[in-house]
Amino acid sequence: MKYNPDIHRRRSIRLKKYNYSRSNAYFVTICVQNRECLLGNIINNKVSLSELGKLVEKNWNKLIQRFTNINLDSYVVMPNHFHGIIIINPPNQPTISSIMGAFKSITTKEYIQGIQDHHWPDFEGRIWQKNYYEHIIRDEKSLEILRNYIRNNPSNWKEDKLFIEQRIGQEV
């Protein structure tokens, strides 16, 4: 189908005039391109990570080395998406988009290296969808609700709006 800006134009969910480098807590979600289950499987309500899933987890935890004024809170690597909470502290140098851009770029680059060096499974096109979802966490109650959502996400996989039946031969 040819690109039609009236149909294919994505509306920004970002708040107008909000400074996304502002010190705050943010809930983020990024999805694998075409929602393919490249990051792992859910087995007995627990996540079993693929090599790419392990790489995603490793690079998420390394973000605090690259961006020294952030803290990482709860996160979960799901079969076809990732949820995490980032807290940007003063001085607020990075934006949430610069953090997410770096994260997606680093994981893609390292996975391509793993394909070459370790014969990991290849992927078509790109690993991540173009954008990501973020939500500004405004209070402790919201933070706790999102932490619980992240913690329970694997056991609620089949009810998740991002759920896709896993490939044949993979236990759900």
Question: According to the model, what pLDDT value does residue 164 have?
Answer: 75
Coil/strand/helix, residue 9: coil
Residue 129: CB partners within 8 Å, gap ≥ 6?
30, 31, 32, 33
Q: What is the pLDDT of residue 8?
A: 44
Domain range for residue 89?
A: 18-155
Which pLDDT value is given to residue 160? 78
User: Does residue 59 register a pLDDT over 70?
Assistant: yes
Report the distance separating Cα 60 and Cα 40, nearest Å. Answer: 16
Residue 13 is assigned to a structural domain of this protein: no
Q: Does 102 fall in a domain?
A: yes
Q: State residue 70's pLDDT score.
A: 95
Q: Which residues contact 32 (CB under 8 A, 6 or more apart)?
A: 38, 39, 80, 81, 127, 128, 129
pLDDT digit string, tens, across residues 71-91: 999 999 999 999 999 999 988
For residue range 106-149, what is the model confidence (pLDDT) as tens digits? 999 999 999 999 999 888 889 999 999 999 999 999 999 999 99
SS3 call for 138: coil
Structural domain tally of the chain? 1
Residue ranges in the chain assigned as alpha helix (H): 5-8, 51-66, 96-118, 140-152
Q: What does the pLDDT read at residue 23?
A: 78
Q: Residue 103: what pLDDT?
A: 97
Residue 129 lies in a domain: yes
Does residue 165 fall inside a structural domain? Answer: no
Residue 7 covered by a domain? no
Q: Tell me the pLDDT of the chain averaged across its residues.
A: 86
Q: Please report, for the domain that includes residue 34, its CATH number.
A: 3.30.70.1290
Answer yes or no: is 12 within a domain: no
